[in-house]
Amino acid sequence: MVNTCITLIILSSMILLAIPSVLSLDQDPVAVEQWFENLPNMTPKLTHLHFYLHDLVSGSDPTVFRVAQSNITSSSPTAFGFIAMADDMLTTGPEPNSTVLGRAQGIYGSACLEESGLLMTMNLVFTGADYNGSTLSLLGRNAVFHRYREMPIVGGSGVFRMARGVATAKTYEFNLTSGDAVVEYNVMVQHYN
């Protein structure tokens, strides 16, 4: 019985340690209401984020999976009509072993017949120390072969409540054979805290 209790205590401790501590704001409905009541007294804050997104289509551990396509996708020069789900790693540097800041989780699809233009709906989910538990919502057009692409930040949660801003993407590395890409992001976001 003592061994069972000790095992349960150790397992409970391990589970609690495995759950990341959230440094963001209290998400209790009463706390959120109080936060909004205090909004007129808050000062907007501008935050610049810089990270790399690793979009892995191939290999043993892909982060992107095609979930649908139209009847013309395979014959379209822009792969028009494909839809993919992504759970891409966000890191401090372009190397896959650099510090992980979070994940880009969402959906994108080819929405242009004339060039490679994606419609992107992504949640940038931060797990790093500074913004752990906070998110930014990106929604926009990504013309993947343009040098720079600008996409709007349309919202956020945690320390990024009421966020709005712009994400600028630049391809750092793209493998034409595998489809894997590393994309550099600079995000300017205004939020309140």
| Residue 2 pLDDT > 60 | no
Mean pLDDT of 140-153: 96
**Share of residues in the chain with pLDDT > 90 (%):** 79
In this prediction, residue 6 carries a pLDDT of 56
64 beta partners: 86
> pLDDT per residue over 72-90, tens digit each?
999 999 999 999 999 999 9
Residue 167: CA count within 13 A, CB half-sphere: 27
| pLDDT over threshold 50, residue 19 | no
Residues 159 and 134 sit within 8 Å (Cβ to Cβ): yes
**Where does the pLDDT of residue 152 fall: very low under 50, low under 70, confident under 90, or very high at 90 and above?**
very high
Distance CA 84, CA 120 (A): 10
The answer to whether the CB of 132 falls within 8 A of the CB of 23 is yes
What is the per-residue pLDDT for 21? 45
Q: What is residue 107's three-state secondary structure?
A: strand
Average pLDDT over residues 102-120: 96
The overall average pLDDT reported for the chain is 89
pLDDT at 27: 78
How does DSSP classify residue 70? -
pLDDT 10s digits, 129-139: 889 999 999 99
Q: Is 182 helix (H, G, I), strand (E, B) or coil?
A: strand
Residue written as tokens 């982060």? 63
Mean pLDDT for 106-134 is: 95
| Phi, psi dihedrals of residue 70, rounded to the nearest 5° | -85, 175
Q: What is the pLDDT of residues 121-130, one digit of tens each?
A: 999 999 988 8
Of residues 2 and 33, the one with the higher pLDDT is 33
Hey, which CATH number is domain 24-192, 3.40.50.2300, 2.60.40.1180, 3.40.50.300, 2.40.480.10? 2.40.480.10
Range of weakest confidence among 21-25, 50-54, 173-177: 21-25
